[in-house]
Amino acid sequence: MTRGRTLGFLLGFLAVALLVAGGFSYLASPDPDGLDTVALQGCQVTETDAGEQLAGTCIAQNATNHALSSSPLADYTVGGGAGTTGLAGILGVIVTLLLAGGLFWVLRRRGVAPTDDGRG
Amino acid sequence: MHMSDGLVNAPTSLLFGAVALVWLVLAALRARADLDDRTAPMAGLVTAFVFAVQMINFPILPGASGHLLGGALVAILVGPWVGTLCIAIVLVVQALLFADGGLTALGTNITNMALIGVVVGYAVAVALRPLARRGKGGLAATAFVAAFLNTVVAALGFVVEYAIGGSGGASLGTVFGLMVGLHALIGIGEGVITAATVTAVAAVRPDLVHLLRGAKTPLLRRAAGTAP
């Protein structure tokens, strides 16, 4: 019975992660995060055809372009398409789950009863 | 809190790349003891959940936002060693697939969020474990404080890296003051998200909360009493 309960719990957890990445991600603030705000301190950001231009003196002027900035999922979009954040997020959740779940499954101790409180 | 490439010089990137690598190897060796048929899938989902929640930047000031780092969250749910690997996997996926966080900056980013964030979050949670075991309110308070501090101290990681080999653009005093101030605000959000997540898991499966393992807590007794 516990196996069924655990599976149900894990599926519920996955559903929440997919909902957050696929839906709530549209509500995320587009403003720079704490570290980026610090890095931009002292600069004026102006949008130009060539991208963002930084005027003044700030840490972010030393930032180099990401080597994978043209990858298909760069900046949480699918192919740079507008409104694809949710799909990119869902793909990210699945990839992360497969990578992490796979690694942890390989690393786990086999042939050992789960360490729990006698409810296994 | 993902650093781009170029914010610190190459020797500093290499130094923290080495720090991160040593920490990850140690974590992989120690994580095994916390992973079994039941906790391994849980840890995979915790990793995916952190990836998802890190997408949600919440506003902290006009023009500035923050997002979950997850150090205390993973440390409380799956333990410090597995938790380190959770955050590192999220950072690698973000850098390689989503161009979020630099490639040469992976060492500093793993150091700040997967090492400092997890260690501080775990240390605070363990220090407050007697409180966490008293019930839902105690667990929520423990998670909030651990998460708040994991955010602020992880921000200090960047200040140290900038002090060692920053590429310039702002004085160290400015960087220190702004990093701590902004991350104290972000830490409140981190605390709320962490407390909500941990208490939600503990409400249905307290046996899957690493921090409560082996504890005689009302949270576990209640769940055991209602188990079929």
What value of ipTM does the predicted structure carry? Answer: 0.93
Q: Is B1 close to A99, i.e. CB distance below 8 A?
A: no
Q: Does B32 map to a domain? A: yes
> B151: closest CA among B206, B212, B69?
B69
pLDDT (mean) for B47-54: 98
Q: Does B161 map to a domain? A: yes
pLDDT value of position B221: 64
- The band of B220, judged by pLDDT with boundaries at 50, 70 and 90, is confident
Amino acid of residue A40 = L
What percent of chain B clears pLDDT 90, i.e. is strictly above it?
93
Which residues in chain A are contacts of B53 at CB distance < 8 A?
A: 20
Could you tell me if A54 and A80 lie in one domain?
Answer: no
- pLDDT exceeds cutoff 50 at A1: no
DSSP-assigned letters across all residues of A54-114: EEE--GGGGPPPPTTTTSTTGGG-STT-TT-HHHHHHHHHHHHHHHHHHHHHHHSPSSS--
- Dihedral angle of Cα A81, A84, A89, A95, to the nearest 10 degrees: -60
| Least CB–CB distance from B44: residue in A85, A97, A117 | A97
| Least CB–CB distance from B169: residue in A57, A93, A120 | A57
Q: Is A107 close to B31, i.e. CB distance below 8 A?
A: yes
Could you tell me if A24 and A37 lie in one domain?
Answer: no
Number of compact structural domains in chain A: 2
- Residues B157, B180: Cα–Cα separation, whole Å: 11
Task: Find the CATH number of the domain harbouring B40.
Answer: 1.10.1760.20
Q: Is B7 close to A39, i.e. CB distance below 8 A?
A: yes
- Residues B132, B7: Cα–Cα separation, whole Å: 39
Condensed to tens digits (0 to 9), the pLDDT of residues B102-122 reads: 999 999 999 999 999 999 999
Q: Does A118 map to a domain? A: no
Could you tell me if A78 and A23 lie in one domain?
Answer: yes
Condensed to tens digits (0 to 9), the pLDDT of residues B148-186 reads: 999 999 999 999 999 999 999 999 999 999 999 999 999
Q: Does B131 map to a domain? A: yes
Number of compact structural domains in chain B: 1
Condensed to tens digits (0 to 9), the pLDDT of residues A11-69 reads: 999 999 999 999 999 999 999 999 999 999 999 998 887 778 899 999 999 999 999 99
Q: Does B154 map to a domain? A: yes
Could you tell me if A101 and A78 lie in one domain?
Answer: yes
Q: Does B3 map to a domain? A: no
Q: Does A120 map to a domain? A: no
**Token pair belonging to A37:** 């705000």
Cα A32 to chain centroid, rounded: 16
pLDDT value of position B227: 43
In which domain, by residue range, is B189 found? 10-226
pLDDT value of position A120: 37
A105 near B CB under 8 A: yes
B217 near A CB under 8 A: no
- The band of B219, judged by pLDDT with boundaries at 50, 70 and 90, is confident
Q: Does A116 map to a domain? A: no
pLDDT value of position A48: 81
pLDDT value of position A5: 82
pLDDT (mean) for B42-60: 98
Distance (Å) of CA B126 to CA B76, B130, B159, B214 = 9, 8, 26, 13
Q: Does A117 map to a domain? A: no
Q: Does A8 map to a domain? A: yes
In which domain, by residue range, is A102 found? 1-30+72-111
What percent of chain A clears pLDDT 70, i.e. is strictly above it?
89
Q: Does B5 map to a domain? A: no
Q: Is A108 close to B224, i.e. CB distance below 8 A?
A: no
Could you tell me if A104 and A50 lie in one domain?
Answer: no
Q: Does B1 map to a domain? A: no
Q: Does B4 map to a domain? A: no
